[in-house]
């Protein structure tokens, strides 16, 4: 099987709600998310370059789907914090389809950990 050269992106509805809410506080999030897609997700999954941004959440990974957390997320709206902005993104990488579905985005200042119930529900619905 050839190595995929492109990733298709999608987001579940609750991710869109998270993003919309956070955009009120962090206006650059949409642009920052595009950067993370190129500089973290695609490097990790397409080029096998681990720049220590992406962390698979092993409890939820299978041979078909990797559930990952992005810990290094540079948010321009959080000046001076660089990639240690505290923004976290949870996504599912569908290996065979080379597809990413964004599951959750949150700010660590408001919430300490990912919503494990949401991840379980997402996997159950697949």
Ranges of each domain in the chain: 8-124
Q: Residue 42 contacts by C-beta under 8 Å, 6 or more apart in sequence?
A: 7
Which residues of the chain fall short of a pLDDT of 70? 1-2
Tokens found for residue 15: 């991710």
Q: Which of 112, 91, 94 is nearest to 103 (CA)?
A: 91
Residue 1, pLDDT score: 52
Phi then psi dihedrals of residue 109, to 5 deg: -65, -20
Region of residue 77 (left: phi > 0; alpha: psi -120 to 50; beta: else):
alpha
- Which architecture, in CATH terms, is 8-124? 2-Layer Sandwich (3.30)
Q: Which of 84, 69, 90, 91 is nearest to 9 (CA)?
A: 91
How much is the mean pLDDT over the chain? Answer: 94
Q: Is 124 exposed, middle or buried (0-12, 13-18, 19+ CB in 10 A)?
A: exposed
Q: Give pTM, 2 decimals.
A: 0.94
Q: Which of 98, 111, 118 is nearest to 37 (CA)?
A: 98
How is residue 114 annotated by DSSP?
-
Q: Which of 86, 67, 72, 71 is nearest to 22 (CA)?
A: 86
Residues 66/111, Cβ–Cβ less than 8 Å? no
């Amino acid at each position: 099987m050839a190595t995929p050269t492109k990733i298709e992106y999608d987001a579940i509805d609750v991710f869109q709600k998270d993003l919309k809410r956070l955009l009120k506080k962090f206006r650059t999030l949409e642009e920052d998310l595009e950067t993370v897609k190129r500089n973290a997700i695609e490097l990790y999954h397409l080029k096998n370059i681990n720049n220590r941004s992406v962390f698979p959440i092993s409890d939820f990974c299978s041979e078909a789907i990797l559930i990952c957390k992005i810990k290094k997320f540079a948010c321009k709206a959080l000046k001076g914090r660089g990639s240690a902005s505290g923004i976290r993104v949870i996504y599912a990488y569908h290996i065979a389809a080379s597809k990413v579905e964004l599951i959750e985005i949150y700010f660590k200042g408001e919430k300490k950990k990912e919503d494990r119930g949401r991840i379980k529900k997402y996997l159950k619905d697949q």
